[in-house]
Structure 1
Amino acid sequence: MKHKAITLILASTLLSACQTANNIEVIAGENTITPLHQDGERKGRYHNLYPGKKTYPTTCETNCYPPSPKLLCEKESENCQFIDDQKPVNLNTGFTVRWLGHAGFMVRTPNGQHVLFDPVKEQFDSPVDLAFRLASGFYRQPGDWLTPNELKNLSTVIYSHIHYDHFNKADIEELGNKPRYLTPLGMADNFPTGGFNISEMAWYAKTNISDLAIHALPAHHFSSRVMVPFIYEDNDKDLWNGWLLEQNGKTLFFAGDTGYSKHFTDIQQKYGDIDICLMPIASYYSEESATWYRYVHTTPEDALNASQDLNCKVMIPWGYGNSSWKMGDHTSHSALLRLLHMVDEMNAKTPLYILNEGESISL
């Protein structure tokens, strides 16, 4: 039995050694930002552009989650479907957006490329997956997923950061090594080996997939990928990005996980008004540490203000939903209830389009 075990270990080692190495490039340099601490105990770790104490333009204080006839729920703000008739949004961008759930989007560009943002098919990578289930008793409902045709024609997979709810190694093998993978700086070493083509990009770096321009942009967040939450052996060793797609003069912005900061205004000043904004509205609430949660996640009112900073022609929210993890949320749809409430309270001018998981819209 001992010899058999040694043989299996050797076979596994040889198999790993025979796997095709990943092709990794780093896109940085002139006119980009690599936000690294230069000295002190945080030397070599990434940081946000606008750290420090935050003030927010708008904050809902009371009655933030009134019920809405626009949501049909199995129980109070839980397991819901958005059922309201929505005004058509005719921007003629050529982009088609399908929401897979949580932060996952499949985007078809005007010229036919298929771009995937932050795909996570089920819950977390093992063993964190099992630990989370045992500790909390909660297991995320799977969201929507790619069709066989989408998998076959996938051009690009883009990740915003390495947190488990945005990046699942198990999914990468299914997505395969045909598409090009775009990530923040430092993230490639989290990939399995298998001949994957990975481009790590600094803030404001640009690359092209045919005639599709892809810009890596700042976000206000953090990174860690550890066995025990909030014990940060690897805290901030990998960067966190937002992303901008640009084709035929039309733009689509994916914010990634982010808190509200001046980086939204910076983006608008550099790239002009944005056509389509995919904006997070959840994971901001915690009885233990509400200030910290909001520091790195946008509330619904923060997302509305950010969309105004960006001059978005339409905002599509994400983070809530039946396939969300409800981390820092009251319920699956409490964030959407708050958004619907604050749109009226703020008299927000940015048009909204609300999706249920699996739904799509051509803009």
Structure 2
Amino acid sequence: MPPAPPTPLAPPRTPGAPRLWPKSFADRLTAPLPGLRAFARFAREGALRPGPEGLADIQRLPFEPGPLPRVDSRTVAVTWVGHASWVVRVGGLTVLTDPVWSRKILGTPARVTPAGVAWSALPRVDAVVISHNHYDHLDAPTLARLPRQTPVFVPAGLGRWFTRRRFSRVTELDWWEAAELGGVRLDFVPAHHWSKRSLMDTCRTLWGGWVLTDGDGQRVYFAGDTGYGHWFERIGARYPGIDLALLPIGAYHPRWWLSDVHCDPEEAVRAAADVGARRLAPMHWGTFLLSGEPVLEPLTRVRSAWEAAGMAREDLWDLPVGSSRVLARDPHS
């Protein structure tokens, strides 16, 4: 039986159009959020930070800042700033993902590697995409540095956070919806995660990832923050030919506590295969210490998992913070 044809993509929505949203997106959760018993167990057994042995390699965390690569309108390039922050050059645009340049975020020790790109070294920022509202992905001090007319693309329900801060070009999208900017299509796609920024706003805004597609059909998938699950295959089916997947590999221990919302390195490799990505660039590790695994373990495990999956070593873009990679374009295209 032949495979079903891919689901047609929705036409791009008008940027900045006002929207009405439900009061809660809790029905989008893949798994229930932890209850009182889980919190009690975590208080007994959990570890928010690595122990002394796990911190022993902190000076070896890879940090190699360099100049941003020169690109043209048909070149795709990525630079890892740290955590889930990337400078993505696509279709002639400079797009920031979940920009966090702050040294410290609420409730978390200071970053253990500096931001890999100086803010002053950035070219004009043409757009920002946000995956969800957790403090390590939505950083008010960093966003305050941007001109208020910068186009910002955010999950459903999060637009008001930006308009209250006088951003004037804010586009909210639901899962599987898209917008277009300068010939680049920005699709908001599901993730296995959740949202919360204060005591009273659990799941009041949506969460997800982004697929950026340029005029030549080159695609970069930014997963945001996510656990492993069925959405990856669905994303791959709807957006075939993903050239590069930016996937989280850290903040996964203890597993019983975090498996629903954070991929471990082996799951990230499986997710890259599920979405049909030709290359994987790991992120969400080695910047903020959010959980108990040793600081270098995500890197060593993702390398082993990639090799065990039989994937070409050059297609694992395990970049140091501050490093860049340019996507080679087919010379016959």
Q: TM-score over 0.5 for the alignment?
A: yes
Secondary structure in structure 2 of the residue aligned to 1:200: strand
Candidates 302, 309, 315, aligned match of 2:280:
315
Pairs within 5 Å for 1:89-128 = 94-109=75-90, 111-124=91-104, 128=106
Distance 1:112 1:315, change over 3 A: same
Displacement, 1:146? 4.7
1:355 to 2:327 alignment: no
Query: Do 1:124 and 1:168's aligned partners in 2 also have CA atoms closer than 8 Å?
Result: no
Q: Does the 8 A contact of 1:79 with 1:332 survive in 2? A: no
- Deviation by residue 1:95-117 (Cα, 9 ceiling, x = unmatched): 110000000000111x3110000
**Partner SS state of residue 338, structure 1:** helix
State percent identity of aligned pairs: 27
Cα distance change, pair 329–317 in 1 and its aligned pair in 2 (3 A): farther
Task: Look up the match of 1:9.
Answer: none
Partner of 2:207: 240
Distance 1:75 1:239 in 2: 34
Shift of 1:194: 2.3
Structure 1 position 200, deviation (Å)? 0.8
What does residue 12 of structure 1 align with?
A: none
Corresponding residue pairs, total: 280
Q: How does 1:337-356 map to 2 (within 5 A)?
A: 337-348=300-311, 351-356=315-320
Instruction: Measure, in 1, the Cα distance between the counterparts of 2:171 and 2:104.
Output: 23
* Residue of structure 1 in register with 2:8 after alignment: none
Specify whether residues 331 and 209 from structure 1 end up closer, same or farther in structure 2 by C-alpha distance, changes over 3 A only: same
**AA of the residue aligned to 1:184:** P
Distance 2:86 2:204 in 1: 26
Equivalent in the alignment of 1:301? 266
CA offsets 1:263-288 (integer angstroms, 9 cap, x no match): 000011111131111010011112xx
Would you say 1:210 and 2:175 are equivalent positions? no
Deviations 1:227-279 (A, max 9, x none): xxxxx421110100100000111100000100111100001111113111101
Within 5 A, what are the aligned runs for 1:157-168?
157-168=128-139
Q: Which has the larger radius of gyration?
A: 1
8 Å contact kept, 2:132–2:207:
yes
When residues 258 and 107 of structure 1 are mapped into structure 2, their CA distance, relative to the original with a 3 A threshold, is same
Partner of 1:44: 24
C-alpha distance in 1 between matches for 2:103 and 2:131: 17
Instruction: Write out per-residue CA displacement over residues 306-349 of structure 1, whole angstroms, 9 at most, x where no aligned residue.
Output: 1111111110000112xx21212423322112212323344446
Alpha-carbon shift at residue 82 of structure 1 (Å): 4.7
- What is the TM-score normalised by the length of structure 2? 0.76
Give the distance between the partners of 1:265 and 1:113, measured in 2 at CA.
28
SS in 1 for 2:280: strand
Secondary structure of 2:59 counterpart:
strand
Between the aligned partners of 1:27 and 1:346, the Cα distance in structure 2 is 43
Asked if the contact 1:260–1:306 (Cα under 8 Å) also holds between the matched residues in 2, the reply is: yes
Query: Could you say if the C-alpha distance between residues 170 and 189 of structure 1 is closer, same or farther in structure 2, counting changes exceeding 3 Å?
Result: same
Q: How does 1:199-278 map to 2 (within 5 A)?
A: 199-226=171-198, 232-247=199-214, 248-278=216-246
Q: Distance in 1 between matches of 2:189 and 2:225?
A: 12
Is residue 187–residue 212 contact of structure 2 (8 Å, CA) maintained in 1? yes
**Shift in alpha-carbon separation, 1:195–1:280, aligned structure 2, 3 A:** closer
Distance in 2 separating the partners of 1:259 and 1:122: 25
CA distance in 2, matches of 1:318, 1:195: 27
User: 8 Å contact 1:212–1:246 — kept in the other structure?
Assistant: yes
* 213-222 or 169-178, which deviates more: 169-178
User: For structure 2, which runs of at least 5 residues remain unmatched after alignment?
Assistant: 1-14, 34-53, 64-73, 328-333
Q: Aligned with 2:138: secondary structure?
A: coil
Residues 76-95 of structure 1 show CA distances to partners (whole Å, capped at 9, x for unaligned) of 43232459xxxxxxxxx721
Structure 1, unmatched stretches of 5+, are: 1-22, 29-33, 37-42, 54-73, 84-92, 227-231
| TM-score between both structures, scaled by the size of structure 1 | 0.70
Residues 99, 106 of structure 1: 8 Å contact kept: yes
* 1:332 aligns with one of 289, 292, 295: 295
Give, in whole Å, the separation in 2 of the partners of 1:249 and 1:163. 31
Letter in 2 for 1:172: L
Q: Would you say the 8 A contact 1:223–1:236 is kept in 2? A: yes
Q: Name whichever of 44-53 and 260-269 sits farther off.
A: 44-53
Cα distance in 2 between the residues matched to 1:44 and 1:120? 26
